[in-house]
Amino acid sequence: MSILSFKKNIAMVAISLCWANSVNAQKNDYPIQPVTFTQVHFKDNFWLPKMKINAEVTIPYTLNQCKITGRIDNFAKAAGKMPVEKSTTYTFDDTDLYKVIEGASYSLQTKKDASLEKYLDTLISNIGAAQEPDGYLYTFRTMKIAKPHEWIGSKRWEKEEDLSHELYNAGHLYEAAVAHYQATGKKNLLNIATKNADLLVKTFGWGKEERFPGHQIVETGLTRLYRVTGKKEYLSLAKFFLDLRGKEGHLNQEYSQSHKKVVDQHTAVGHAVRATYMYTGMADVAALTGDKQYLSAIDDIWNDVVDKKIYITGGIGATGNGEAFGTDYDLPNMSAYAETCAAIANVYWNNRMFLLHGDAKYIDVLERTLYNGLLSGISLTGDKFFYPNPLASMGQHQRRTWYDCACCISNMTRFLPSVPGYAYAQNQNDLYINLFVGGDANIQLTNTKVAIHQETNYPWSGKDEFTINPAKKANFSIHIRIPGWAINQPIKGDLYQDKSKVSEFTLLLNGKSANYSIEKGYAVINRTWTKGDKLTLDLPMDVKKIEAKDSVKADLKRFALQRGPLVYCLEGIDNADSSVLNLVVDKNATITPNFQASLLNGIMTLEMEGSSTKRQVNSNELIKTQQKVTAIPYYTWANRGSSEMEVWIPFEASASKPKPAPTIASKSKVSASIKSPMMLKALNDQYDAENSIDRSGNFFHWWPKKNSTEFIQYDFDQTYTVSSSDVYWFDDSPWGGCYLPTSWRILYQKDGEWIPVKVISQDAVAKDKFNSIQFEPVSTKALRLEVQLSKDNAAGIHEWKVK
């Protein structure tokens, strides 16, 4: 059953609604205010179709997944309406339902849907039934399962600073409750949320329960409740949770940003989603309380991220170990984590930074993330998803219909309807145009109400026409963002450089050159406006070849392509032999844009000349073959099945990954004690790992197996006489799950039997180098490498050679 049905001209929703219609106007707040969703209506060919797919496909799909995976049943079990045999997997699974209710509520605000509203009421009734009399709401404890989840502890809040996620669940409940209340006017979910929040106020605080949330979000949830209810206790509690971090005697760790007081933190560390939710919460509390220490901290952290820790796609969180920020300039591509949730949180944070400071550099990061590292998280069909968003792939990355840990899916569901809320902002008589999307907006300034009609084919075209219609002739300022990418500054700072010739943008007022000044990245026009005034902005859409700072080793001798706000990638399906990792493109190559309406829902491709590379036996010289190279927007990759992909394109052959030379190993059929076709390709791809923990290429592993005997096997294309072999181990200790194995041996196949070779010499097991074995020659058609895993860990392999 389709829960949502939206017409062609569906209006979009803004997350910024949390600042609208507050019961009590707040004295302190952001100096700049977003223009709320009800005032912005997209009518373009890029975002509008994506919003419609989210409404018609993604929201009902995700609601259904919450049903069939048992997330909705968790509430029925907690209410005593179902027998309790088991729960779902994660203690934060309740939030998936909250987030989808939030996204569905945004949709209800633009188009009434009685069926959807009734269904949400049913869900809310189930949620309310699961709430305990004092307001506590956490199904994993309340359902009283025979064997409770190991993360929840024996009593309330006991493991909150670690894994229980009780406050994290509460935060998403509050966000959903505010959205639903403002969509429908009903208080059924809001009453549940405030009852829970009142319990938190009663329970937590100085001299009471002094615990902070292990996973941040409750802080922003509380500030949203504060804006709607006017209860200052909610704002005070949000500040308490922030100020408690780093206090002696607590679980203080970088992973959850609790290693220091928040005002003493000046670099981004730990879990990237938790971090950026916290920075967003700090901005909210700073704006509402005027705490300047918070501002100093998040200003420094923002500079740390953009100077050292952000991907060209806007993705953050480089490592899968802890889903965390890596060390400075550590931005690997193949193993890039860049979680979709982190991209969404990065948008929230940068939007708040703009509202605080009015600087276009924050919207530049927001836009980069929005069009690239965030939008890549959902398929064009709206029902397949990415959790991590890597910048290179050997085909091992595939979109999935669901994740057991579904935070990114439900987060995307609630975020997509919010995009229009980032398009405009205002401060008294200053009107900000931040995003370039066709449609209409109505904005109330101090002097007058202003209607704006925006006509553009962005991001494919840089031309944008604005018709300004004030309700009456009035003086005010229009601030039009001039994107950093248009003036050779991809991201503020020197992490990424655009060394191409600067192209000029043009800004016309009623057909003539406009008189403007540049302030904080905006072209500012202050004048008396009349109905029908037209502004025309024409941004240069030259293809840019972006290079990274030399400190980013993963991107040395490579460039990334960008046109307008879109970062591009090479994907195997568009290129010869379905391969791209072996391609090289000259830095001076001519790039030709070509719009293809029938490809990937209509995209601009980039065409160029390049060459493929291939290794030779007994030679270091590469075989090079000229070929046409095609690039597509990064957000569209992996919509046509698994394939090789690369964002950073080598301009020197030494940076490429040549196709392997025809050796015994590379010509073999590979198999193993586990089935993983993509990982098996790593064993004979002739990639030279820098060290055992190198994640820049593909690798094979047996995780999560341990204390077992495993194998990998080569079936040769013919009978060979072999007498030696080399293996390079993958080892991501101490934080990963793969350590060196206890032992290994080689067996050969003879008459259907596996026989151990007679060893002449064998290296001790060691990492960061090839381990060699010499044995008496054997003639065989197959060889097996048998591995004994250690008692507590798995093992992995970068490469296995046979001679």
- The Cα–Cα gap between 778 and 749 comes to 9
Residue 443 has pLDDT above 60, yes or no: yes
Q: What is the pLDDT of residues 619-640, one digit of tens each?
A: 888 999 999 999 999 999 999 9
Residue 278 has pLDDT above 50, yes or no: yes
What single letter denotes the amino acid at residue 489?
Q
Residues 312 and 237 both lie in one domain: yes
Going by pLDDT thresholds of 50, 70 and 90, the confidence category of residue 19 is very low
Residue 439 zone, left/alpha/beta (φ > 0; ψ -120 to 50; rest): left
Q: What b-and-e string marks burial along 348-369, b requiring 16 or more CB atoms within 10 Å of the CB?
A: bbbbbbbbbbbbbbbbbbbbbb
What single letter denotes the amino acid at residue 109?
Q
Residue 192 included in any domain: yes
- The Cα–Cα gap between 617 and 554 comes to 27
On whether the CB atoms of residues 607 and 628 are closer than 8 A, the answer is yes
* DSSP state letters, 155-205: STTTTTTTT--HHHHHHHHHHHHHHHHHHH---HHHHHHHHHHHHHHHHBS
Average of per-residue pLDDT across 594-615: 97
Q: How far is C-alpha 457 from the chain's CA centre?
A: 26
pLDDT reported for residue 6: 34
pLDDT reported for residue 26: 53
What single letter denotes the amino acid at residue 257?
Q
What single letter denotes the amino acid at residue 722?
V
Average of per-residue pLDDT across 400-429: 95
Q: How far from 290 is each of 25, 283, 284, 742, CA to CA, in Å?
A: 16, 10, 10, 58
Q: What would the two tokens of residue 503 be?
A: 């192209």
User: What's the CATH number where 676 sits?
Assistant: 2.60.120.260
For 748, the enclosing helix (H) or strand (E) is strand 743-750
| CA proximity to 542, closest of 568, 569, 565, 563 | 563
- The Cα–Cα gap between 87 and 74 comes to 6
Give me the helix-helix angle, 340-357 and 272-289, nearest 10°.
20
Burial of 7 by CB count in 10 Å (0-12 exposed, 13-18 middle, 19+ buried)? exposed
Residues 204 and 282 both lie in one domain: yes
Residues 227 and 250 both lie in one domain: yes
Q: How far from 455 is each of 289, 458, 461, 522, CA to CA, in Å?
A: 39, 9, 11, 19
Residues 404 and 439 both lie in one domain: no
Residue 66 has pLDDT above 80, yes or no: yes
Burial of 700 by CB count in 10 Å (0-12 exposed, 13-18 middle, 19+ buried)? buried
Residue 490 included in any domain: no
pLDDT reported for residue 24: 39
Residues 310 and 353 both lie in one domain: yes
Q: What is the pLDDT of residues 158-173, one digit of tens each?
A: 999 999 999 999 999 9
What single letter denotes the amino acid at residue 216?
Q
Q: What is the pLDDT of residues 516-537, one digit of tens each?
A: 999 999 999 999 999 999 999 9
Report the DSSP beta bridge partners of residue 430: 427, 477
- What percentage of the chain reaches a pLDDT higher than 90? 88
Residues 198 and 297 both lie in one domain: yes
For 509, the enclosing helix (H) or strand (E) is strand 506-509
Residues 219 and 145 both lie in one domain: yes
pLDDT reported for residue 20: 38
pLDDT reported for residue 619: 86
Residues with Cβ within 8 Å of 574's Cβ and at least 6 positions away in sequence, in order, are: 605, 630, 631, 632
pLDDT reported for residue 107: 83
The DSSP code for 448 is -
| CA proximity to 307, closest of 553, 647, 559, 549 | 549
756: preceding bond cis by omega (within 30 degrees)? no
Average of per-residue pLDDT across 221-234: 97
Q: What is the pLDDT of residues 251-277, one digit of tens each?
A: 889 999 999 999 999 999 999 999 999
Residue 659 included in any domain: no
Q: Which long-range contacts (CB under 8 A, 24 or more apart) does 147-155 make?
A: 149/87, 149/91, 151/91, 152/91
Going by pLDDT thresholds of 50, 70 and 90, the confidence category of residue 38 is confident
On whether the CB atoms of residues 709 and 786 are closer than 8 A, the answer is yes
Q: What is the pLDDT of residues 114-161, one digit of tens each?
A: 999 999 999 999 999 999 999 999 999 999 998 999 999 999 999 999
Residues with Cβ within 8 Å of 568's Cβ and at least 6 positions away in sequence, in order, are: 560, 561, 562, 606, 631, 632, 633, 634, 647
- The Cα–Cα gap between 98 and 720 comes to 61
Burial of 1 by CB count in 10 Å (0-12 exposed, 13-18 middle, 19+ buried)? exposed
Burial of 644 by CB count in 10 Å (0-12 exposed, 13-18 middle, 19+ buried)? buried
Residues in the chain: 803
Lowest mean pLDDT among 57-61, 106-110, 701-705, 785-789: 106-110
Phi, psi of 553 (to 5 degrees): -60, -30
| CA proximity to 311, closest of 352, 254, 368, 271 | 368
Residues with Cβ within 8 Å of 142's Cβ and at least 6 positions away in sequence, in order, are: 78, 130, 132, 136
Residue 728 included in any domain: yes
Residue 487 included in any domain: no
Domain around 532: 426-481+504-538
| CA proximity to 221, closest of 288, 167, 271 | 167
- The Cα–Cα gap between 396 and 582 comes to 16
What single letter denotes the amino acid at residue 36?
T
Residues 259 and 314 both lie in one domain: yes
Q: Round the average pLDDT of the chain to a whole number and report it.
A: 94
Residues 465 and 332 both lie in one domain: no
Residue 106 included in any domain: yes
Residues 141 and 242 both lie in one domain: yes
Residues 446 and 405 both lie in one domain: no
On whether the CB atoms of residues 515 and 507 are closer than 8 A, the answer is no
For 226, the enclosing helix (H) or strand (E) is helix 218-229
Task: Please state whether beta strands 430-433 and 474-481 pair in parallel, antiparallel, or not at all (unpaired).
Answer: parallel
Q: Of 606, 631, 654, at which residue does a domain stop?
A: 654
Residue 714 included in any domain: yes
Residue 564 included in any domain: yes
Average of per-residue pLDDT across 469-477: 98
Total domains, the chain: 4
- What percentage of the chain reaches a pLDDT higher than 70? 97
More confident residue, 458 or 252: 458
Average of per-residue pLDDT across 308-315: 98
On whether the CB atoms of residues 316 and 276 are closer than 8 A, the answer is yes
Q: Of 631, 654, 677, at which residue does a domain stop?
A: 654
User: What's the CATH number where 109 sits?
Assistant: 1.50.10
Q: What would the two tokens of residue 85 be?
A: 């045999």
pLDDT reported for residue 37: 78
* DSSP state letters, 316-347: B--BTTTTB--STT---STT----HHHHHHHH
Q: Of 609, 629, 654, at which residue does a domain stop?
A: 654
Residue 109 has pLDDT above 90, yes or no: no
Residues 361 and 239 both lie in one domain: yes
Phi, psi of 105 (to 5 degrees): -65, -40
Residue 146: Cβ within 10 Å count: 7
- The Cα–Cα gap between 67 and 69 comes to 6
On whether the CB atoms of residues 585 and 567 are closer than 8 A, the answer is no
